[in-house]
Amino acid sequence: MSRRVGLYWFTNDLRVHDNLLLSHATQEADELLCLYCYPCITPFLSHYAQVSQLGQGRQRFIKDALLCLDNSLHSLGQRLTVVNLSPLPALQHAIEQIGVTHLYINASAGVDEQRAVEIIKRQNPHLIVTQKETCTLFTQEQLPFTLRELPNTFTQFRKQVDSLEVSHPRDKVQVMPCEVTYHSESTLSFSSSNRARSFIGGERAGLAHCHRYFSSTFASEYKQTRNELDGMNASTKFSPWLAHGNISPRMVYAMLKRYERDNQANESTYWIYFELLWREYFYWYARKYREALFRFGGIKGQRPLTSYYAHRFQQWKKGETPFPIVNACMHQLNETGYMSNRGRQLVASCLVHELGLDWRYGAAYFESQLIDYDVASNWGNWQYLAGVGADPRGTRQFNLEKQTQMYDPYMEFIDRWKGRCAGAHLDSVDMVDWPIVMDSNGNA
């Protein structure tokens, strides 16, 4: 019997706990290459975000997570190979060089990842490809509807899945196949930053944060504090580790259920599950709509009455608009790579409604900066707010002055993040600033 050479393509499943796909690979492959393709700035992202590289906060978090995973794999006799290549050429090169017979890949919500797998299958008909959902509460088989029949709204989705059983998280992988010798000119070395910050990437830090959170009483007060603009304890802050798969939603759910047993279930603890369901909905939403996730008219095909104003977009990115609360949130994002959920709603509403900008510019900039960037949640939420997604009520506009009075009445958050911008105003538009329209593939 020929040896089974496996290639595990890590994406947003950077962990060894509760990883069914990794467990499957360890049981099936005789040899294994663990590969990660470092995120690059695509033409689409460069065009809309107007950046040349990922934000420093996002890069630091990713490097933390990669180092943690590499340490975990090393303890099992494996290592993580990180390459500075886009997935398709990286995978094809590895398949050809080491004679891969089995490919393992998370059932990603990202259309680029899905497309790469489809091409790889066509180019390598001998290859056995295994995909499993590694970052969801439910598997596709558990859903009481087909992907095509995914409910049009979150409320309809929640009512159908609310009573579904969430599987208990699997134990940590204990044994792995031997490492495959692999050489690539694009291999990257990586290390963690020693800079002090609130969010440290990686499975170890993610699990520690979850244990710390559920060891307190914060979960019982979550619904009352979740809309605060700042502070590590106001909301769960699970999202960075969930986004990179450092922790699984099933692990969070198991900890939440344990907390409810040891303490008491209330509206706040349910609301944590409620937010996990929102994340779940957007995952299946992205799986269903694929390329439509990035279209100007969204899943509805209704083009918003917005456009592109170069100066206004730069004001928004730099936090130099006439709206102090928006400026403060953007300064926070640019410095830390993080922003509260309420802040995201406010700056998105400002970009679409006050500044009259194409929502894709904001979504792309978030993609480049957020340490908790998740393709489905990010683009799905932006569609929702812009009125081209799953919101049955259409566009959502927030009164920024009223929101400031509600969430920052004494301007403490605004002053902490230097949101007051003297003399800021919206300039007129010069038509020469209009860019060429590009699709999700980066084509003009």
Phi-psi region of 237 (alpha: psi -120 to 50; beta: other; left: phi over 0): left
Q: Which of 356, 349, 346 is nearest to 403 (CA)?
A: 346
Sequence ranges of the domains in the chain: 5-134, 203-290, 310-433
What's the confidence (pLDDT) of residue 428? 47
One digit per residue, pLDDT tens: the chain, 444 residues?
589 999 999 999 999 999 999 999 999 999 999 999 999 999 999 999 999 999 999 999 999 999 999 999 999 999 999 999 999 999 999 999 999 999 999 999 999 999 999 999 999 999 999 999 999 999 999 999 999 999 999 999 999 999 999 999 999 999 999 999 898 878 887 776 666 678 999 999 999 999 999 999 999 999 999 999 999 999 999 999 999 999 999 999 999 999 999 999 999 999 999 999 999 999 999 999 999 999 999 998 888 888 899 999 999 999 999 999 999 999 999 999 999 999 999 999 999 999 999 999 999 999 999 999 999 999 999 999 999 998 777 667 899 999 999 999 999 999 999 999 876 777 644 444 444 444 455 554
**Phi first, then psi: what are they for 221, rounded to 5°?**
-120, 10
pLDDT of residue 159: 96
Global model pTM greater than 0.75: yes
Domain range 310-433, CATH class? mainly alpha
Closest alpha carbon to 58 in 359, 308, 372: 372
Rounded-to-integer distance, Cα 133 and Cα 77, Å:
25
Give yes or no for a contact between 163 and 39, defined as CB atoms under 8 angstroms apart: no
Give residues with Cβ within 8 angstroms of 401, minimum separation 6.
none
**For residue 424, what are the CA distances in angstroms to 287, 333, 420, 428?**
41, 20, 9, 13
Residue 362 is given by DSSP the state: H
Topology of domain 5-134, CATH: Rossmann fold (3.40.50)
Who's near 256: CB < 8 A, 6+ residues apart? 214, 219, 269, 272, 273
DSSP state, 341?
A: H
Q: Are strands 187-188 and 80-83 parallel, antiparallel or unpaired?
A: antiparallel
Does the 203-290 domain belong in CATH 1.25.40.80? yes
Select from 109, 48, 43, 42 the least CA-distant residue to 363.
48
Distance between CA 349 and CA 165 in Å, rounded? 36
